[in-house]
Structure formats: C-alpha cells, structure tokens
C-alpha cells in the first residue's frame, strides 16, 4: 500500500465519497464491521482500521453512534462534515480559475502561544496558501470561505487578518507566483498521480469492473487525488509554466470518477447491509 494511503486517510476518503448520504437520504453511522470489510478491499487489516477509527474519534472527526439495528458504528461529526463539504469544491470538477484576485492571511501570534503559530502555518499550507513574506500567506481569492471555516473551527481566527485584492507589485505576477509556491514540487505531485492512476483508467476504459474492483481503484484514486487540490490551489493557467500537468491529472481523476464511482457505490452499500457483493 502506498505510504500516502494510510488507514486514517482512506477512512476519511470513504466517508467523503459514500458516508454522507444524499439530500433525501442522510447517511447513518457506519458499523465498524463494514469499515473493516471496505478497507480490506484496499489491503488494510482489521487492527489498523480499529486503531485509525479511534484516532479519528479522538480528533473529533468521528463520533460513536448506533445503527438502526443497534450495531456499534461511527458517524461524521459536524466539523468533519463541514470539512468534507468544503473539500467538494476543490476535489470534484469545478470551473476554471477566474481572474487573478488574491486572498492574504496576515497573522501575529504571541511568543507564549507559539504552538498556535505552528498550527496556523501548518493549516494555511494545507489549505494551499503560498508564502509571500514572513507572517504573510497568499492564496487564490476563491479559498476565502473555506479559510474562514477552517480558522474558526480551529479557534485561530482571532490571530489572523484576511485581505482580498489584486497583486500590484513591481514583479510580474507569474514571476511572483514562483516565489510563493514551489511549482516544481507541485508538478511532481501531478506527475506522480498520472503515473499511478492513468494506467488504471486505461484498463477500465476497456473492461467492465466488478463492484469490489471499482471500489478498490476508485477509493485509491480519490485518496491520492483529494490531497492534490490542497497542495496545488488551482492557480490561473496564465501564471503557470507551459505544459502544466495539473489539467491532465484532473482529467484522469474526472474520468475515473465517471467510470467507477457509481459501480463502487454498490460495493459500499453491500458492505453496509452486511452482505457480500456479487458481480
């Protein structure tokens, strides 16, 4: 199993794809036994699933609950649901980036609370912010709502001022972007995704997957992909180098989603019912 595909990450990925229900059919708690079956499809052993669930519970992302039949299970917390809802705007197909409007996050944390300074830097980085100057972080303006939600959820909003506007500096914006983000590193992440998942798309373009095979390959693709729109915040194409691999990577993920998602849902639903899914 790829180092990125940790049990905790895969569980979050499952809930994001299949654990929230639909507007007319809200999802209930997922039994631990179902999670064990589901993650077994991608090579995770039962003790690792139980350990990961415990850690997600301690972090406040999962809450213990009972299913309609009384089985022990776990549901998403309100914070986790907000986190996943915000993530949808990045992870799933979206409109091309708009004009070069920017969001600045300027923070100041007292020395006696420097642990919060580290948390702020970590979270802004995970949201896709680049570093414009010490204590000044920058991102595309469309990340405003998600940034507010994140800072408020973590109790960090009082340390940060947010500003929205244009880049009016003396350096051309395309050059400045190279200072704010490590574009070579971001390109390498996209190329790694293509190397791992483009052959999977090629295979399923010529074959019909079983529900279990669709679930396995879709969960792994989504688990890989969902981190990319955070590392790479989706900068306007005019500011990126020629032949930027972000668009091809997004096309591969979108095609895998279209090909596998609904078939994979059959396996997820069968696991919740406690029955085996037959091809």
pLDDT reading at 1 higher than 60: no
The number of folded domains in the chain is 3
Q: Which of 85, 110, 131 is the last residue of a domain?
A: 85
pLDDT reading at 201 higher than 50: yes
pLDDT tier, 22 (very low <50, low <70, confident <90, very high otherwise): low
Q: Choose from 26-40, 120-134, 205-219 the range with maximum mean pLDDT.
A: 205-219
Q: Which of 123, 142, 166 is the last residue of a domain?
A: 166
Contact by Cβ (8 Å): 148, 162: yes
DSSP summary character for residue 240: S
Contact by Cβ (8 Å): 161, 170: no
CA 153 – CA 163 distance, rounded (Å): 19
- Residue 171, both tokens: 């350096």
Question: Is 279 within the bounds of a domain?
Answer: no
Per-residue confidence (pLDDT) for residue 117, from 0 to 100: 87
Length of the chain, please?
279
pLDDT tier, 169 (very low <50, low <70, confident <90, very high otherwise): confident
CA 150 – CA 130 distance, rounded (Å): 16
Contact by Cβ (8 Å): 196, 224: yes
CA 115 – CA 30 distance, rounded (Å): 34
Q: Is 250 left (phi over 0), alpha (psi -120 to 50) or beta?
A: alpha
DSSP summary character for residue 66: E
Contact by Cβ (8 Å): 104, 163: yes
Q: State the CB neighbour count (10 A cutoff) for residue 23.
A: 6
Angle in degrees, 0-180, between the axes of helices 183-204 and 246-273, rounded to the nearest 10:
50
Residues 200 and 256 in one domain: yes
Per-residue confidence (pLDDT) for residue 230, from 0 to 100: 86
Per-residue confidence (pLDDT) for residue 211, from 0 to 100: 97
The owner of tokens 């036994």 is: 33
CA 131 – CA 59 distance, rounded (Å): 27
Residues 154 and 202 in one domain: no
* Dihedral of the alpha carbons of 217, 229, 36, 50, in degrees to the nearest 10: 150
Residues 28 and 79 in one domain: yes
The per-residue pLDDT for range 60-75, each reduced to its tens digit, is 999 998 887 878 889 9
Q: Residue 55's domain spans which residues?
A: 7-85
pTM, full prediction? 0.85
Percentage of the residues of the chain whose pLDDT score is greater than 70: 93
Please, where are the H alpha helices in the chain?
A: 7-18, 32-40, 46-58, 78-91, 114-127, 144-153, 173-180, 183-204, 211-225, 228-231, 246-273
Question: Is 161 within the bounds of a domain?
Answer: yes
pLDDT reading at 26 higher than 70: no
Instruction: Give me the chain's average pLDDT, please.
Output: 89
Quick one: average pLDDT of 241-251? 93
Per-residue confidence (pLDDT) for residue 111, from 0 to 100: 81
CATH of the domain at 24: 1.10.10.10
Per-residue confidence (pLDDT) for residue 70, from 0 to 100: 79
Question: Is 92 within the bounds of a domain?
Answer: no
CA 34 – CA 231 distance, rounded (Å): 31
Question: Is 162 within the bounds of a domain?
Answer: yes
- Residue 135, both tokens: 């204590």
Residues 228 and 263 in one domain: yes
CA 223 – CA 238 distance, rounded (Å): 28
Question: Is 217 within the bounds of a domain?
Answer: yes
Q: 64 pairs with which residues across the strands? A: 74
């Amino acid at each position: 199993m790829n180092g990125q595909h940790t049990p905790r990450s895969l569980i979050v990925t499952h809930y994001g794809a299949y654990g929230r229900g639909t507007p007319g059919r809200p999802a209930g708690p997922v039994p631990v036994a179902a999670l064990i079956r589901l993650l077994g499809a991608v090579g995770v052993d039962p003790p690792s699933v139980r350990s990961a669930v415990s850690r997600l519970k301690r972090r406040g992302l999962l809450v213990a609950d009972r299913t309609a039949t009384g089985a022990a299970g776990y549901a998403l917390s309100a914070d986790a649901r907000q986190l996943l809802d915000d993530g949808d705007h990045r992870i799933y197909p979206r409109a091309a980036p708009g004009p070069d409007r920017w969001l600045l996050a300027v923070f100041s944390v007292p020395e006696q609370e420097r642990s919060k300074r580290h948390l702020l830097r970590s979270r802004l980085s995970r949201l896709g912010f680049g570093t414009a100057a010490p204590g000044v972080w920058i991102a595309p303006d469309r990340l405003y709502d998600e940034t507010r939600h994140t800072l408020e959820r973590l109790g960090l909003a009082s340390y940060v001022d947010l500003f929205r506007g244009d880049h009016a500096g003396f350096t051309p914006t395309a050059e400045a972007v190279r200072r704010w983000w490590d574009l070579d590193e971001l390109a390498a992440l996209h190329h790694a995704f293509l190397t791992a998942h483009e052959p999977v798309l090629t295979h399923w373009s010529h074959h019909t997957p079983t529900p279990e095979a669709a679930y396995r390959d879709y969960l792994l693709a989504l688990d890989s992909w969902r981190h990319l729109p955070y590392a790479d915040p989706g900068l306007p194409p005019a500011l990126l180098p020629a032949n930027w691999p972000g668009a091809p990577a997004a096309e591969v993920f979108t095609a895998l989603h279209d090909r596998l998602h609904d078939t994979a849902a059959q396996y997820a639903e069968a696991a919740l019912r406690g029955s085996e899914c037959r091809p």
